Amino acid sequence: MSLRQNESVTPGTSTNTVFLDRLARARATMDERGVDALLVSVGSDLPYLTGYEAMPLERLTMLVVPRDGDATLVIPRLEAPRVVEQPGAFRIHPWNETDDPVAIVASLVGTPAVAAVGDTMWARFLVELLGHWPSGATQYVRSTHVMNALRMRKDDAEIAALAAAGAAADRVAAELHAGAIPLAGRTEAQVSADISARLLAEGHDVVNFAIVAAGENAASPHHHPGSRVIRENEIVLCDFGGTMAGYCSDITRCVYLGTPPADVAEAYAVLHEAQAAGVAAGVVGAACQDVDRASRRVITDAGWGEYFIHRTGHGIGMEAHEDPYMVEGNDLPIESGHAFSVEPGIYVAGKWGMRLEDIVVASADGPLSMNHADHALVTL
């Protein structure tokens, strides 16, 4: 993730309203779950609530949210200029090099009966916090207890950010489809670097991955692009994404260099139908596993079931993979604002592989696709 200031998080929206709203929803969940204090440090929860992403340093940065009362961002004084204080949402409390920041955190809340601590808070701070609020007096729970339901339900600003990142990834996919990204004769690694550069040129701040897998390499879903030279008459699978203004893109498209043989063409038709069925199943009130079942049924019915070797999708937002997961066994009901990938694949070891992936946001009006690039197996 890139380091950024909090203005960039909420395109087109009043920043302050967004963070006030998110903090209000966090407090409502704290209330529901009997959490007295929420403490978030490095990781995605902090930028979600404040717009500020802390450097993962030894100096403590922590947002302290009491169930009642003002939220405070405790931050090293030298980092404070990077933060825009959000009046009404949180105030900042800079600490000096000789201060004890954990004591400052502890002093902001009387000993809480239940404290929710960030999953990725450094253990050193939690251990020191235990000196102030011993585990006999305070029960500790993970911050996901408060944050997970919130983070899964994307608000309008987040959906706009996902749509913008998706559109940028679509433009790179369109370049791939148009033949503007040379393939034959180049190595997978060269094409991967080319796609990465184009993601940045289209506005991404960071590239998270750019899988390029040719021919038999495409049968390995997370193939690492290497020195393999791409040739005529083979499939090329490209799965790429990055982070743009704090939110992730993730798209997979395949192209065929030449005329696809019958088995590839048939399998792709099945894949295309399976992906559309998965998207259509992503409706509010369905279970996450229903998305997986919808895609898998199409592939299984066509006789390719044993070649679909992974879950159908993952949640996406500030992180490339986050809750909810579209997998058998996950009966979590899909809610409006849930954002996830739908990415079935068919992989024939030693021969070829294919995957088709879009990001989808569930809404009252049905599934909204964040990707619109051509879904066909484009031939070049």
Which residues form the interface with Zn ion (CB under 5 A)?
Answer: 239, 250, 252, 341, 357
Q: Quick one: tokens of 343?
A: 């990415």
Please tell me the distance from the alpha carbon of residue 243 to that of residue 208, in angstroms, as a whole number: 7
Closest separation in Å from C-beta 341 to Zn ion: 4
Please tell me the distance from the alpha carbon of residue 342 to that of residue 286, in angstroms, as a whole number: 15
Please tell me the distance from the alpha carbon of residue 271 to that of residue 146, in angstroms, as a whole number: 37
Closest separation in Å from C-beta 308 to Zn ion: 13
202 vs 250, beta carbon nearer Zn ion: 250
196 vs 341, beta carbon nearer Zn ion: 341
116 vs 191, beta carbon nearer Zn ion: 191
89 vs 176, beta carbon nearer Zn ion: 176
Cβ atoms 378, 256 nearer than 8 A: yes
Closest separation in Å from C-beta 88 to Zn ion: 37
Helices (H), ranges, the chain: 15-33, 45-50, 101-108, 123-132, 144-152, 156-177, 188-201, 262-280, 288-301
158 vs 250, beta carbon nearer Zn ion: 250
Sign of CA dihedral 131, 132, 135, 137: positive
CA 1 to each of CA 204, 248, 320, 375: distance values in angstroms, whole numbers, following the listed order: 11, 10, 10, 29
241 vs 337, beta carbon nearer Zn ion: 241
Cβ atoms 74, 47 nearer than 8 A: no
Cβ atoms 255, 172 nearer than 8 A: no
Please tell me the distance from the alpha carbon of residue 58 to that of residue 252, in angstroms, as a whole number: 38
Closest separation in Å from C-beta 120 to Zn ion: 21
66 vs 353, beta carbon nearer Zn ion: 353
Closest separation in Å from C-beta 204 to Zn ion: 14
145 vs 311, beta carbon nearer Zn ion: 311
Closest separation in Å from C-beta 169 to Zn ion: 10
Residue 288, Cβ density class (10 Å: 0-12 exposed, 13-18 middle, ≥19 buried): buried
Judged by DSSP in three states, 77 sits in coil
Closest of 320, 168, 156 to residue 246, by C-alpha: 320
Q: Quick one: tokens of 368?
A: 């909204």
Judged by DSSP in three states, 277 sits in helix
Closest separation in Å from C-beta 161 to Zn ion: 17
Closest separation in Å from C-beta 247 to Zn ion: 14
9 vs 360, beta carbon nearer Zn ion: 360
Closest separation in Å from C-beta 92 to Zn ion: 36
Q: Is cis: bond before 56, omega within 30 of 0?
A: no
